[in-house]
Structure 1
Amino acid sequence: MNEKLALSDEILLSISKPERYIGGEVNSAVKDLSDIKIRFAFCFPDVYEIGMSHLGIQILYGLFNEYEDVWCERVFSPWSDMDSIMRENDIPLFALESQDPIKGFDFLGFTLQYEMCYTNILQVLDLSGVAIYSKDRTWDDPIVIGGGPCSYNPEPIADFFDLFYIGEGETKYRELFDLYEKAKDEGLSREEFLFQCSQINGIYVPSLYDISYKEDGTIKAITPVREGVPSVVKKELCLDLTNAYYPMKPVMPFIRVTQDRVVMEVMRGCIRGCRFCQAGQLYRPLRERDVKKLEEYAITLLKNTGYEEISLSSLSTSDYTGLNELLEFLIDYCNEHKVNISLPSLRIDAFSLDVMSKVQDVKKSSLTFAPEAGSQRMRNVINKGLTEEDILRGAHEAFVGGWNKVKLYFMLGLPGETSEDIEGIGDIANKIAVEYFETVPKEKRNGRTIEIVASTSFFVPKPFTPFQWAPMNTKEEFLDKASITRKGIMAQLNQKHIKYNWHEANASMLEGILARGDRKLSTVIYNVYKRGCIFDAWSEHFKNDIWLEEMEKASLDPMFYVKRERTKDEILPWDMIDCGVSKEFLWREWETSKKGVVSPNCRQSCMGCGGANYGVGICFQPKTGVN
């Protein structure tokens, strides 16, 4: 544990989970300040347990600390009890490793994983004593930089950031650090440094772009304010995933976190092309890590952490071509060393169930299916590539294998959805129950019966997906659809075996506003924060009324962001960013979705999305023409 602590024993004993704030964990980086030219505070703007589960932070934390002249430390959003104490006692927010105030750092970096954390960003800036608006900062403030999925439409929070890093972090940070050291040595102004940052591929500097609007509220033009500023910022991609940096000594948290296991990323990207999925577009093209390298990683990571579970991470692990070979190795090694293997993101088919039978212990946990929509028509609209026959065959195989708990995930509010599509959710849950009773004879049930949990979330259109132009449902429409779903389930013969959960509608609407929002929303975000909104992603802290009041005060109509279908020629708030997938391809897929036509996946046939421009991965592998 740290010898020097920013908080007194009295404070630590008065708050929940003081381990969130003391640092000193195994594998955390401690350096001699005399060798350091750049101090980087890396923030996940949520509580410690969630931030410490994020692989991206572990990768960049480890990478930055490999540099002799850089010390990267961690900071998270203080929970509400700690937030109050810090304000009452004028305690500045500090980094875990050194316990030094964030205000004295060179960089404050945020990973932006979900829109509902935006007020937490302001909380971190405020508690750190860093000017909230970038225009008010001087060299006495850190350079505030954001990255991650939400940086692909950074506009609602653009006024609070100096820089955004667009793309995968392994490639350009060293160049950025070198530029910073040079700017400091040469005595450059902050403004000149930011301009020079704009010359690095993948770095978006919001203050260097002027946004003008038409009378109807849509964007008229996005214009660089200075010659030499690129009109479009192209995402950075890690071209050689196998030889890219990977953290062999991840920081070991003191308390149980959401992902309490070794996480091994087997690939990036996805071949499937689901039209609602932002990650599937942002991380194109699919790139795989070499199996032999992953086998080495597994042994080293388990030795360096002492974890008793290893998880294979990707968007669709079943599509990793080396999965069989990797699992053969892991099953032998993990059985010998009493380590569990976790396999999220598997497609439920005979192969996957066979794999799960080998890796799961005798007590079978629940199986997860994600049909996403209740009817085949809607699954075709969203390009899910999963038929009812696939689902029932998977369920059959699972029941034969001894499983009796099934989780089903669906979305409500998908483009073009009808009542029949929604009622299909109850139908498919019932058919799975019927499949169980037909597959497992009474004498083999051992007193157990089928348990099905159907969960629905509300569809939120995201930038850089074919549905970025789609209208979104209102809160009232969402709740009506949840009611139809519930009635549909209650009408089923096997309803007593089916449980139904649904998501909070107000939070989904706000997520939709922020996901496709523009710079006008920064005033709203600032004002709701000033009125006490933080931890909006936590339902017990979410204050929807305040958000609506502040939107009204700013003369902004939520329905402008939510309900409106965008036209082909509209300039979208994120059009200054190139995610590697062309707008033309996304529009083609939007039009194709309206016809209910399924597009092939990347292994079957190339759809010309633009990912091939990076010259790597799936784009340059032979096409099979089959699923």
Structure 2
Amino acid sequence: MHRLDKVLARVQKPSRYAGGEWNAIKKDWDQMDVKLAFAFPDVYEVGMSHLGLQILYHVVNSREDALLERVFAPWTDMEKELRQEKLLLFSLESQRPLIDFDIVGFTLQYEMSFSNILNMMDLAGLPVRSMHRDASMPLVIAGGPCAFNPEPLADFIDLFVIGEGEEVIHELLDTFKVLKAKGMARDEMLLQMARKIPGIYVPSLYRVNYQEDGKIDSVLPVKEGVPAKIEKRIVRDFDQVAFPTSPIVPSMGVVHDRIMLEVLRGCTRGCRFCQAGVLYRPVREKKPETLMGQVEKMIRSTGHDEISLTSLSTADYTGVAPLVKNLLDAYGEQGVNVSLPSLRLDAFSIDLAKEVQKVRKSGLTFAPEAGTQRLRDVINKNVTEQNLIDAVTSAFQNGWSSVKLYFMIGLPTETYEDLDGIAAMARKVVEIGYQCGVPRGRLKVTVSTSSFVAKSHTAFQWEPQDTLKELRDKQRYLKEKLKDKRISYNWHDPETSFLEAVFAKGDRRLGAVLETAWAKGARFDGWSEQFRYPLWLEAFEQENLDPQWYAYREISYEEVLPWDHIEAGVSKKFLIREHKKALAQQPTIDCRSGRCTGCGLCPALEIKPSILGGADIAPLQGEI
């Protein structure tokens, strides 16, 4: 029996590591000029639910000169077996160790997966710090939303891709192929890539200077021709961009086991806490005929019985109702369901909800985010209590009996009156359910709260997080207020949110803390059963850094932020203006209205929103 087979026989879920799924691609290794491993720093079930993985898998494997294979973070049982058997971490497609690849690319979706990145490198036989890796080892690259503040990982990653991967991947592979053929040294290769390819950030080519008080003085390139600021890459023609119509079908149950149809990218809403709303601007909608063509191929190639219309705000898609109707007309009789990830209160249509639940009915989820109109104005969540009342009334009258409500606690300017608003809203929903005739035993209202985490490139990036004590007190207060057998209350562990806040706004000095925590055993920090908070506190103490300085400090507009050299396209002036408007409780309009809000992205990146039949949005003059 092969050693790997023996190992797989001993772990809890061997299909996480076995590969061989339907539509997986195994290419002839020896015929490929560039071999790339896509590394997802979480388990198979989470990684295989990520559309970005499927997109890049398709894009790279469509090339004749390159291959892309997958690797996921091994769960603790598999890690133990690999270390015991002295086996190196391997890819799913060819079972080759990662050290054999030219490039290992990590996707950065969540700060709490950073310790897994170090662990995966170590399991692959790679030194975790980039300065200790030599020419025989793969380049370690990374991209995704957390790359917009890459600094906590600067010591470990050779090169970051800023922006949308499918826009830059061909340039990256073409350049790598040429430089590799020339036998170019690793450092020189990284320098050439930083100079030649827009959107590429090589942290070793920048020096961070600190002031005596620990704040950043400057971030400067150390070599000529390296850009002072790195501008994000963005897909300009969303209809023509490559999309996987034969995605890999997972061999076990995963988080999102269905067809993921990306109907649009970006969001115009402008919620002030939302990083994705900034990073994925401008809005680009796909034409309905493009979507119908893609679905037809995906149904044929996967056998999935659910189509999820994915985006940051699917209900905003122009013509979402006719699209849903056309999909159900075409595939409903085959038992194929259509789902929307979440429904906005102000865009809620009971007719649309009824359409998407024709095949299988489930509960409805709404995200008011805050309990009072005052706080919703602060965060620019342009929905009202009346929107919620209308939405749930419609839902209960039309046969729904289960509603989930999502809120955030610890938002800037929040008071206990805002928490009272959450409890009052939940009770009101219960009462509406009874008034609409939902039987007492069947009515279910669930309230979930997560703790606010300030993120880079948002209007709240200067804001402190509530302390652990404040968050725990608020959770206890809400638990008391929501003591009602008709209401379930779920909340997030505030310690995880605290650490997330530290790394979301952190600088390069956190690299030492991350390495120390990982060496002490930090793994899967986003999983409550694996998260070891005391171990992290020990690591901060050992490295003589105060995590509270990162999470709890109010930052001035003049301060140099660790990510100021990374350009998301939205101007800092606009974010400052939005922050001031938040504190004044003034909402900002949605630029879908045709009125530009002056965020600066369109002129900076020379691009415009692509909204089907939508109003043309002329950028504001002199406001950027």
Query: The TM-score by the shorter chain falls in which range?
Result: over 0.9
Q: Who is 2:232 aligned against? A: 235
Deviation at 1:226? 0.8
Deviation at 1:176? 1.4
- Are the equivalent residues in 2 in contact too, given 1:291–1:325 (CA < 8 A)? no
Is 1:558 paired with 2:547? yes
1:103 is aligned with what amino acid?
Answer: I
Whole-angstrom distance in 1 between the partners of 2:473 and 2:210: 35
Unaligned segments of structure 1, at least 5 residues: none
Q: Who is 2:39 aligned against? A: 43
Is 1:452 paired with 2:448? no
Aligned with 2:249 (options 223, 248, 252): 252
Cα deviations by residue, 1:502-529 (Å, 9 ceiling, x for unpaired): 1101111000001000000000100111
Aligned with 1:126 (options 122, 126, 140): 122
Whole-angstrom distance in 1 between the partners of 2:334 and 2:133: 53
Deviation at 1:7? 4.5
1:476 is aligned with what amino acid?
Answer: K
Cα deviations by residue, 1:264-313 (Å, 9 ceiling, x for unpaired): 00000001000000001100010001110100111110110001111100
Is 1:139 paired with 2:135? yes
- Are the equivalent residues in 1 in contact too, given 2:285–2:610 (CA < 8 A)? no
Q: Who is 1:23 aligned against? A: 19
Alignment of 1:383-462 (within 5 A): 383-440=380-437, 445=438, 448-462=441-455
Q: Who is 2:580 aligned against? A: 591
Whole-angstrom distance in 1 between the partners of 2:470 and 2:2: 49
Q: Structure 2-normalised TM-score?
A: 0.96
Q: Who is 2:482 aligned against? A: 489
Is 1:93 paired with 2:89? yes
Is 1:472 paired with 2:465? yes
2:451 is aligned with what amino acid?
Answer: F
Whole-angstrom distance in 1 between the partners of 2:347 and 2:577: 34
Aligned with 2:602 (options 589, 606, 612): 612
Deviation at 1:552? 1.3
- Aligned pair in 2 of structure 1 residues 619, 293: CA closer, same or farther (>3 Å)? closer
Q: Who is 1:508 aligned against? A: 497
Cα deviations by residue, 1:159-211 (Å, 9 ceiling, x for unpaired): 10000000001112211112112212222211111001112100000000000
Q: SS of the counterpart of 1:198?
A: helix
- Aligned pair in 2 of structure 1 residues 6, 154: CA closer, same or farther (>3 Å)? farther
Q: Who is 1:523 aligned against? A: 512
Unaligned segments of structure 2, at least 5 residues: 619-624
Deviation at 1:215? 1.1
Q: SS of the counterpart of 1:192?
A: helix
Whole-angstrom distance in 2 between the partners of 1:558 and 1:313: 35
- Are the equivalent residues in 1 in contact too, given 2:444–2:487 (CA < 8 A)? yes
Deviation at 1:353? 2.0
Q: SS of the counterpart of 1:170?
A: helix
Deviation at 1:9? 3.0
- Are the equivalent residues in 1 in contact too, given 2:337–2:360 (CA < 8 A)? no
Is 1:189 paired with 2:180? no
Q: Who is 2:621 aligned against? A: none
- Are the equivalent residues in 1 in contact too, given 2:238–2:284 (CA < 8 A)? yes
Whole-angstrom distance in 1 between the partners of 2:125 and 2:347: 56
1:535 is aligned with what amino acid?
Answer: F
Would you say how many aligned residue pairs link Structure 1 and Structure 2?
A: 613
- Aligned pair in 2 of structure 1 residues 499, 232: CA closer, same or farther (>3 Å)? same
Is 1:67 paired with 2:63? yes
Alignment of 1:374-385 (within 5 A): 374-385=371-382
Q: SS of the counterpart of 2:609?
A: helix
- Aligned pair in 2 of structure 1 residues 52, 7: CA closer, same or farther (>3 Å)? farther
1:49 is aligned with what amino acid?
Answer: E
Q: CA RMSD in A?
A: 1.6
- Are the equivalent residues in 2 in contact too, given 1:314–1:345 (CA < 8 A)? no
- Are the equivalent residues in 2 in contact too, given 1:350–1:397 (CA < 8 A)? no
1:131 is aligned with what amino acid?
Answer: P
Whole-angstrom distance in 1 between the partners of 2:394 and 2:311: 24
Q: SS of the counterpart of 1:460?
A: coil
Alignment of 1:192-341 (within 5 A): 192-199=188-195, 200-341=197-338
Identity of aligned residues (%): 47
Whole-angstrom distance in 2 between the partners of 1:351 and 1:530: 48
- Are the equivalent residues in 2 in contact too, given 1:275–1:466 (CA < 8 A)? yes
Deviation at 1:616? 3.8
- Are the equivalent residues in 1 in contact too, given 2:161–2:200 (CA < 8 A)? yes
Q: SS of the counterpart of 1:172?
A: helix
- Aligned pair in 2 of structure 1 residues 177, 596: CA closer, same or farther (>3 Å)? same
Is 1:540 paired with 2:509? no
Q: SS of the counterpart of 2:243?
A: coil
Alignment of 1:558-577 (within 5 A): 558-577=547-566
Q: SS of the counterpart of 1:139?
A: coil
Q: SS of the counterpart of 1:129?
A: coil
Whole-angstrom distance in 2 between the partners of 1:392 and 1:176: 50
Cα deviations by residue, 1:299-351 (Å, 9 ceiling, x for unpaired): 11011000111110011111100312211210101222221111113223585
- Are the equivalent residues in 1 in contact too, given 2:337–2:359 (CA < 8 A)? no
- Are the equivalent residues in 2 in contact too, given 1:383–1:599 (CA < 8 A)? yes
- Aligned pair in 2 of structure 1 residues 179, 374: CA closer, same or farther (>3 Å)? same
Whole-angstrom distance in 2 between the partners of 1:516 and 1:169: 23
Q: Structure 1-normalised TM-score?
A: 0.95
- Aligned pair in 2 of structure 1 residues 193, 6: CA closer, same or farther (>3 Å)? farther
Q: Which moved more, 1:326-335 or 1:101-110?
A: 326-335
